[in-house]
Amino acid sequence: MRNKGTGLIFLGLLLIAAALFLTAYNLYDEQRAEQSALQVIDRLEDYLPSEVPTEASTEPIVEQAPMPSDAPDYVLCPDVEMPVETINGMDYIGVLQIPSLELELPIASEWNYPNLKTAPCRYSGSAYLNNLILCGHNYTSHFGNLKNLCEGDIATFTDMDGNVFTYKMMERETLNPTDIEGMESGNWDLTLFTCTVGGQSRVTIRFELLQDSIIIFETRKIPGQRIF
């Protein structure tokens, strides 16, 4: 009995040690992810706008804006690839800002697990085609607080040419990890998603482009590969 009791105590101590180690690692990984993103933002600060909208405009929405003579290239040719800036071997397409969450994050051009350890990534689509989908880990400093967004909250995306796209949050969804069709469904201009703790589902936030922020063009879809 004494040996059995000693074994149980030893097992309990091992479990406590494992839990402490996991907690310490998660804290370390959270801080590492935050610092990695900040270092990239410092390199990209020249591309950021001087002011970021914090609420939706109350001005009437215009159905179709006239084409200005100095329109950006993406307006004349929406199929153009989004420009990238390479930092430490990773390509970035721009910077996402969400004032209500005090977030300012670089966005990697392509998603994979190593890239997600540094910054949120483009899952599919383009800001120029009004179908941009961004994914990120649930680090608090990345997409971990998406669940706290409220309808009407503003997000901006600034590309590497300095073009600013302003969006308003419209809807929150919870999707299964394998629901690729659901993730890509709907005519949403911007979608952000991250996994819940444990990875059982995906918190998905849908946005509409504020039509008075850029010229409007037809939305098209680019097929994604799979949800991470």
**51 in a structural domain:** yes
Predicted confidence (pLDDT) at residue 175 exceeds the cutoff of 70: yes
pLDDT at 137 over 80: yes
Per-residue model confidence (pLDDT) at position 61: 44
pLDDT at 38: 79
184 found inside a domain: yes
pLDDT category, 216, cuts 50, 70, 90? Answer: very low
In a domain, 60, yes or no: yes
Do β-strands 121-124 and 132-135 pair in parallel, antiparallel, or remain unpaired?
Answer: antiparallel
Average pLDDT over the chain, rounded to an integer: 80
pLDDT band of residue 197 (cuts 50, 70, 90) is confident
Residues in contact with 59: Cβ distance below 8 Å, sequence separation at least 6, in sequence order: 212
The predicted structure's pLDDT at residue 58 = 42
Domain contains 90: yes
Task: Tell whether the model's pLDDT for residue 203 goes beyond 60.
Answer: yes
CA separation, residue 24 to residues 19, 29, 179 (Å)? 9, 9, 33
Domain extent, residue 75, equals 2-209
Q: Is residue 92 part of a domain?
A: yes
Return all residues near 37 (Cβ < 8 A) that are at least 6 apart: 105, 106, 118, 119, 141, 142
Is residue 226 one of the residues assigned to a domain?
no
Instruction: Classify residue 41: in a domain, yes or no.
Output: yes
To which residue do tokens 């020249």 refer? 46
Please state the pTM of the whole predicted model: 0.76
Q: What's the CATH code of the domain at 75?
A: 2.40.260.10
Measured distance CA(101)–CA(82) in Å, rounded: 26
pLDDT tens, position by position, 17-28? 555 545 554 555
Per mean pLDDT, which range of 25-34, 129-138, 210-219 is the poorest? 210-219
Tell me the per-residue pLDDT of 152-168, one tens digit each, with 9 for 90 and over.
999 999 999 989 999 99
13 C-beta neighbours (distance < 10 Å), count: 10
- Distance CA(69)–CA(35), nearest Å, equals 41
Q: For residues 90 and 115, is the Cβ–Cβ distance under 8 A? A: yes
Q: 179 near 225, Cβ under 8 Å?
A: no
pLDDT at 101 over 60: yes
More confident residue, 212 or 108: 108
For the cut 50, the answer to whether the pLDDT of residue 62 exceeds it is no
pLDDT of residue 45: 79
36 against 39, higher pLDDT: 39
| Structural domain includes residue 223 | no
What is the total count of domains within the chain?
A: 1
- Cα–Cα distance, 97 to 154 (Å, whole number): 9
Confidence label for 35 from pLDDT (cuts 50, 70 and 90) = confident
Instruction: List strand residue ranges (DSSP E) for the chain, in order.
Output: 85-87, 90-98, 103-108, 121-124, 132-135, 154-159, 164-175, 190-195, 202-209
Say how far apart CA 47 and CA 104 lie, in whole Å.
Answer: 12
Q: State the pLDDT at residue 199.
A: 77
